């Protein structure tokens, strides 16, 4: 059996970045992945925008609500509400292959080709020095890595009043895409009252996005088709599968899909990686000198817990509390739909509570158009007929404010691996996430502040929706960084304590989870961990 120099587990944002670093350094690398791909053969017309499709395409329902109506979810609002049928494979098979039992935490994981990156909102915010330090990361190394990742994935951004919160030292980016009228008005109001807003601790600016506004060799510049929730056809927005597809051209890279990595064991000469071959359900083994786990923080926790097999072991858990607030900007009432529109977050609003960048919460502002009225109508206690008329009129004035808040470890947040005879792996992850009353009251206080500041900009909150813990899809801290050689913790360079050759390339090590979307930082950290593995 061949011994690979490196095995990377997972094809998501972190796996893709770690693998690229290894492969470009010339290392013989194998990527192991479940790698579920899109099933539907139905393709969105490439030359049309969202409104054009809505008015003309006979079979639009196939991708707007799904051939099997899988895009029309009913019941309580929960995680992944914005995931449309063309991206539904993001969550495929997770309930069967990687089950989670919980009454307090409802995470989203992915076994898709590209992992959670399939549905990533492409926001790229840098961690500040204080945030990086609290998370256990070396800020200087992170800054270099941010630049490398930015070159790889392509970022558009703007230097503005919030740049110290969003961009840090990043300088290799393209100009931001144009905002729609809704957000242009909000930014104008903020700019007029900027000093007052800043005094209250609020800073607003353009959201840095992994979207290119100038075409490159194989990626087209962003075309404002408003199909961001449905299609990656022009490749203007970065997705990790693009990196993996590209790596497949290298002779020192091998991709093996259809396998679920379950555990590892370290031998004298190599590390043995055990998988379930999903085609026949049989065990499949791979060997490597060094193993990089990039299977998402819950996935890496599962693998580590199984591999170390410590009865009753618990790992910590971090998750950004998240709520979203549909707001109304009355000056937009009666406007028609905009043909050209940016579907991603357009503005970021930071609340720097202590003015020292150590305790920042962040809201992302989105317009509402391509996710259609039926999703809105489900969330209000009105009859559907009147809801349709009201939302048709109101939707151009609607701004969705998604508030992310930071998270720190506490006793009530943890994971355990429990026996589960119905599961393919014979176990399932039991998750507990109980916030303290102080945490809850602090979150509510922040949410009220956001609602108040939006009011000052003449944007009024309609409803505060809590989709439940886990809905942010931002998780970390399951194998936290530690200077002590404690089992189920990670060394600062990414090496898993208790192992000689297993590195953690995802966010499992973070000891603090800043409110800013963490994907950009996860990718930067994955690059650093891969470099550490190469240099060790």
Partner 1 sequence: MKNTHSKEEFEAIIFTKYLIGERADKKTKELYIRALDNSPTILDKNDTAILSFLTKHPSTLGFLDAGLAVIKPHSEVRRRLYLIFAILESTPLYWKYFIPIQRRPIYLFIVIAVGIRSIYRLLVGSILVKLVLR
Least Cβ distance, residue 71 to partner 1 (angstroms): 7
Task: Say which residues have a Cβ less than 8 Å from residue 509's Cβ, sequence separation at least 6.
Answer: 136, 476, 477, 479, 480, 481, 490, 492, 494, 525
Listed in sequence order, the residues at least 6 apart from 265 whose beta carbon sits closer than 8 Å to its beta carbon are 271, 272, 274, 307
Q: Which of these, 51, 116, 46, 45, lies nearest to 87 by C-alpha position?
A: 116
Say if CB 335 and CB 328 are below 8 A apart: no
Regarding 272 and contact with partner 1 (CB under 8 A), the answer is no
> 396-425: which residues touch partner 1 (CB under 8 A)?
396
CB of 365 to partner 1, least distance (A): 18
| Residues 6 or more apart in contact with residue 153 via CB below 8 angstroms | 124, 210, 238, 243, 523
Q: Give the residue from 339, 450, 436, 369 showing the smallest Cα distance to 402.
A: 450
User: In terms of CB distance, is 250 or 374 closer to partner 1?
Assistant: 374
How far, CA to CA in Å, does 235 sit from each of 80, 212, 254? 22, 9, 23
Q: Smallest distance from the beta carbon of 183 to partner 1, in angstroms?
A: 16
Closer of 377 and 451 to partner 1 (Cβ): 377
Strand partners, 431: 415
Binder of partner 1 out of 111, 373, 400, 471 (CB under 8 A): 373
395 binds partner 1 (CB under 8 A): yes
| Span of 22-30, 176-184, 294-302, 390-398 interacting with partner 1 by CB under 8 A | 390-398
* Contact (CB, 8 A) for 521 and 512: no
Among 151, 172, 356, 393, binds partner 1 (CB under 8 A): 393
**Is 15 an interacting residue with respect to partner 1 (CB under 8 A)?**
no
Helix axes 519-535, 139-153, angle to 10 degrees: 110
Angle at 516 between CA 514 and CA 518, to 5 degrees: 80
- Per-position DSSP letters for 107-141, written without gaps between them: -----BTTGGGGG---B-PPPPHHHHHHHT--HHH
At its nearest, how many Å lie between partner 1 and the CB of residue 456?
23
- Between 43 and 82, how does the x/- string for binding to partner 1 read (CB under 8 A)? --------x--xxxxx-xx--xx--xx-xx-xxx------
Total number of residues that touch partner 1 (CB under 8 A): 42
Nearer to partner 1, 283 or 333 (CB): 333
Q: How do strand 283-293 and strand 314-316 relate by DSSP bridges? A: unpaired
Told to check if 389 binds partner 1 by CB under 8 A, we report yes
392 binds partner 1 (CB under 8 A): yes
Nearest approach in angstroms of CB 215 to partner 1 is 30
Q: How far is the CB of 53 from partner 1 (least distance, A)?
A: 9
Q: Does 227 bind partner 1 (CB under 8 A)?
A: no
Q: Which of 47, 195, 385, 422 binds partner 1 (CB under 8 A)?
A: 385
Rounded CA separation 221/162 (Å): 25
Q: Which residues bind partner 1 (CB under 8 A)?
A: 51, 54-58, 60-61, 64-65, 68-69, 71-72, 74-76, 333-337, 372-374, 377-378, 381-390, 392-396
């Amino acid at each position: 059996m061949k011994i690979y120099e490196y095995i990377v587990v997972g094809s998501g944002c972190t796996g893709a970045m770690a693998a690229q670093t290894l492969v470009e350094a010339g290392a013989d690398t194998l990527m192991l992945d479940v790698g579920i791909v899109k099933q539907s053969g139905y393709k969105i017309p490439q030359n049309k925008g969202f409104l054009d499709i809505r008015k003309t395409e006979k079979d639009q329902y196939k991708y707007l609500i799904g051939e099997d109506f899988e895009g029309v979810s009913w019941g309580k609002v929960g995680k992944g509400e914005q995931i449309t049928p063309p991206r539904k494979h993001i969550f495929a098979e997770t309930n069967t292959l990687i089950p989670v039992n919980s009454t307090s935490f409802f995470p989203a994981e992915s076994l898709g080709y590209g992992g959670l990156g399939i549905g990533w909102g492409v926001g790229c915010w840098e961690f500040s020095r204080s945030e990086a330090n609290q998370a256990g990361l070396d800020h200087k190394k992170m800054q270099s890595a941010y630049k490398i990742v930015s070159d790889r994935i392509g970022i558009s951004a703007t230097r503005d009043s919030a740049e110290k919160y969003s961009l840090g030292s990043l300088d290799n980016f393209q100009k931001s895409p144009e905002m729609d009228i809704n957000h242009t008005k909000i930014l104008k109001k903020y700019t007029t009252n900027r000093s007052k807003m800043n005094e209250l601790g609020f800073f607003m600016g353009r959201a840095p996005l992994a979207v290119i506004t100038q075409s490159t060799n194989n990626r087209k510049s962003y075309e404002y088709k408003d199909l961001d929730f449905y299609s990656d056809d022009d490749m203007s927005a970065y997705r990790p599968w693009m990196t993996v597809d590209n790596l497949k051209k290298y002779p020192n890279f091998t991709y093996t899909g259809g396998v679920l990595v379950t555990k590892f064991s370290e031998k004298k000469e190599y590390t043995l990686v055990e998988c379930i071959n999903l085609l026949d359900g049989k065990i499949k083994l791979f060997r490597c000198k060094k193993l990089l786990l990039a299977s998402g923080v819950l996935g890496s926790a599962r693998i580590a817990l199984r591999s170390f097999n410590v009865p009753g072991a618990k790992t910590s858990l971090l998750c950004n509390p998240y709520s979203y607030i549909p707001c109304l900007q009355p000056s937009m009432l009666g406007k028609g739909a905009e043909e050209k529109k940016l579907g991603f977050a357009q503005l970021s609003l930071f609340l720097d509570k202590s003015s020292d960048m150590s305790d920042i919460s962040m809201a992302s502002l989105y317009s509402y158009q391509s996710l259609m009225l039926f999703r809105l109508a489900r969330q209000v206690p009105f009859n559907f007929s009147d809801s349709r008329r009201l939302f048709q009129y109101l939707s151009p004035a609607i701004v969705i404010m998604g508030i992310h808040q930071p998270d720190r470890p506490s006793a009530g947040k943890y994971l355990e691996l429990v026996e589960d005879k119905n599961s393919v792996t014979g176990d399932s992850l039991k998750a507990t996430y109980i916030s303290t009353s102080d945490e809850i009251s602090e979150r509510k206080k922040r949410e009220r502040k956001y609602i108040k500041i939006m009011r000052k900009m003449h944007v009024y909150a309609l409803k505060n929706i809590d989709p439940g813990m886990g809905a942010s899809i931002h998780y970390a801290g399951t194998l936290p960084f530690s200077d002590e050689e404690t089992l189920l913790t990670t060394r600062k360079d990414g090496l898993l304590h208790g192992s000689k050759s297993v590195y953690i390339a995802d966010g499992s090590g973070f000891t603090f989870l800043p409110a800013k979307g963490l994907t950009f930082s996860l990718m930067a950290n994955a690059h650093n961990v891969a470099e550490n593995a190469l240099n060790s």
